[in-house]
Structure 1
Amino acid sequence: MAQLSQPLLERDALASLNTLRDGPAILRLICHLLTIVLGGLVWAHQGWPLALRLLGLLLCGIGLATCFAPLHECGHRTAFRSRRLNDTVAWLAGLLSFYNATHYRRYHQWHHRYTHQPGLDPELEDPVPTNAWAYLQEVSGWTWWTGKLTGYRRLLWGDISALSYLSPEVIPQVRRSVRLQFAVYGALALASLVGGNGFLLWFWLLPLAVGQPFLRFVLLAEHSGCSFSRDGTENTRTTLTNPAVRWLMWNMPFHAEHHLYPSLPFHALPAANGPIAPHLRHCDRGYLAVHRRLLRNLPALHLPA
């Protein structure tokens, strides 16, 4: 877990911010699903100008890709008061964003326990973009797609006993969850073929591929270029961005606050930013500024030997 030399939030303030409420997540989830549906409807409307339809495709795709955000929040079981509701929404959001919630929750717990620590944080097992070509592959989503396909093949049929974040007793649960997920994909693919409409391709795979660069652009900023120490004020970045990005990402841009106090629900993170921000080594304004800084010194992203 993130280390702190002293608490950054007073006990009373922390207790107040830690209050779980269903309303913010219900509103956010409805808006998120409407973004996908409305974007998809515009994309599907053959009679409208191509530019408008492509805008709908982009909107639908960003909505699908950023379903990672409710997956993440519900994976922490802090979005809703009900554990069952959190788990259900997490699984469905993972279905839409091509993640498996059952696997991701264990993986992410390990990431929080060993944030940005080489050899321990499973996120650091992913390729690090240390040159311009690798950076383009990362932000395009290519690295993510290839990694997902390899990872799912292993989760479905391979040996996963060596994954440190999966205890032996949860491996069967993860296998069942992944197989159910792919059974749903298979049913949708079959329905698309029978119906002759290509629904799975045109209204899920293609939009998800189009929206993926937006998500990669945001996620790459969370820890890249930060310290490899255990200090939570140094190993994670908060990015101050516009309300639309914060809304779509369920306040994940307040990422250092989330790592320092992972029990805080997403709707409490903006309030937590005030007292915490002065103590952060990486509290940057805008994703473009962050990525310009990363691009100037990509070799520095190499993991320490």
Structure 2
Amino acid sequence: MTATGPGLDLAHGRDSRGTGGLIPAEVLRQLNGRRDGPAWRQLAGHGGLILGAGLVWGHAALPWALRLAALLLLGWGLAFAFCAMHECGHRTAFASRRVNDTVAWWAGVLSFYNADFYRRYHQWHHRHTQQLGLDPELESAPPDTRRAYLLSLSGLPWWIDKLRGHARGLVGDFAGRPYIPPEAAPAVCASLRRQLAVYAVLVALSLPGWNGALFWFWLLPLAVGQPLLRFVLLAEHGGCSTATDALRNTRTTLTLVPLRWLMWNMAFHAEHHLFASIPFHALPAAHGWIGPRLVHEAPGYLALHRRFLADPAQLTLPTA
């Protein structure tokens, strides 16, 4: 999936002629429609989950079992803000490009990503999906042993990668990253520095009385929420083909409605790769057209990961 022009707008998808008539042109036109309502409702719900869970987690008078459940929900809400950043990074969630970019940036702050870096990184991923040496998601080798698989799910490699990547970006070091061309580097570097400034303010607010608010209400919950995010992200392309056909190199996973909601419908991942122009709220309808043609459609994340756990090597081996 390519993007055109300096705006790096990832909404440009293929039409039905470019995908073997998977979706009739008129239906695709309707699915591509931009509507603010679904995005605002999704964002309000996601934000409400974070706020509500945070209030319960921080209420010392409540039972510990309830508070720990709230910690888990808070962690999932923060970690899966990545999905909000991803959808708005495609500039398809809202009708306004400015709103998409603003929501993407703040969602990146919450999930410890940088939206401006990620937009360019992700454009390259769509353009070169599953292509060794080109797809940036393959910069780190997928886990091929049980130990590596469990380590990946823990989120620890992700934290290390993000800390190193942000540190490099803050000084404008994007060597070996062709998706950040020299003309884009200053803007990405500036965005990372603004993000660091936000974190610095949060640290300063957390210091009085050594209340540790930044740790208790962001770092700890985000660490708790990471394993579930790693769990679903491994399913997107793990063990899929290295062919250029998104019907074969990307997986859609059928899952429970609450998780699908938390993911902003990213579980319909093959549909998204085939038609990046379709907003998140229309992906279930797109699945109705595309589903019968998918090579990789998992009946659920647990079933899929049971296979991965039994033989982690299949995460690295392309299949038909």
Q: TM-score, normalised by structure 1?
A: 0.97
Which residue does 1:52 correspond to in 2? 66
Unaligned segments of structure 2, at least 5 residues = 3-13
User: Which residue does 1:189 correspond to in 2?
Assistant: 203
Asked if 1:62 is matched to 2:76, the reply is: yes
Q: Distance in 2 between matches of 1:267 and 1:12?
A: 18
Deviations 1:18-46 (A, max 9, x none): 00000000000000011011111111011
1:147 corresponds to which residue? Answer: 161
* Pairing 1:298–2:312 present: yes
- Which secondary structure state, in structure 1, belongs to the residue aligned with residue 314 of structure 2? helix
1:170 is aligned to 184
Q: Is the CA contact (8 Å cut-off) linking 1:161 and 1:168 kept in structure 2?
A: no
Taking only the aligned residue pairs, the percentage that are identical comes to 59
Whether 1:31 aligns to 2:45 is yes
Cα distance in 2, alignment partners of residues 127 and 156 from structure 1: 25
The alignment covers a number of residue pairs equal to 304
Aligned to 1:138: 152
Once the two structures are superposed, residues 65-114 of structure 1 have per-residue CA deviations (whole angstroms, 9 ceiling, x without a partner) of 00001100000000000000000000000000000000000000000000
Q: Deviations over 1:211-244 (max 9, x none)?
A: 1111111111000010011011000000000110
- Which consecutive aligned stretches of 4+ in structure 1 deviate over 4 angstroms post-superposition? 2-5
**Compared with structure 1, are the counterparts of its residues 276 and 44 closer, same or farther at alpha carbon in structure 2 (3 Å cutoff)?**
same
Deviation at 1:253, TM superposition (A): 0.1
> What's 1:213 paired with?
227
| TM-score, L = length of structure 2 | 0.92
The one of 43, 61, 64 aligned to 2:57? 43
SS at match of 1:129: coil
Select 2:32's aligned residue among 8, 12, 18: 18
Q: Structure 2 CA distance, aligned partners of 1:113 and 1:74? A: 18
Superposition RMSD on alpha carbons, in Å? 1.4
- Confirm or deny that 1:106 pairs with 2:120: yes
Cα shift at 1:299: 1.7
Output aligned runs, 1:265-284, within 5 Å: 265-284=279-298
Q: Can you give the 5+ residue segments of structure 1 that lack an aligned partner in the other structure?
A: none
Report matched runs for 1:91-102 at 5 Å. Answer: 91-102=105-116
Write the deviation string for residues 189-224 of structure 1: whole angstroms up to 9, x where unpaired.
111012421111000000000011111111110000
The reply on whether 1:260 has 2:298 as its aligned counterpart is no
> Counterpart in 1 of 2:129?
115
Asked if structure 2 preserves the Cα contact closer than 8 Å seen for 1:118 and 1:303, the reply is no
1: CA distance, partners of 2:69 / 2:172? 40
TM-superposed CA distance for 1:296, in Å, is 2.6
**In structure 2, how many angstroms separate the alpha carbons of the residues matched to 1:24 and 1:98?**
25
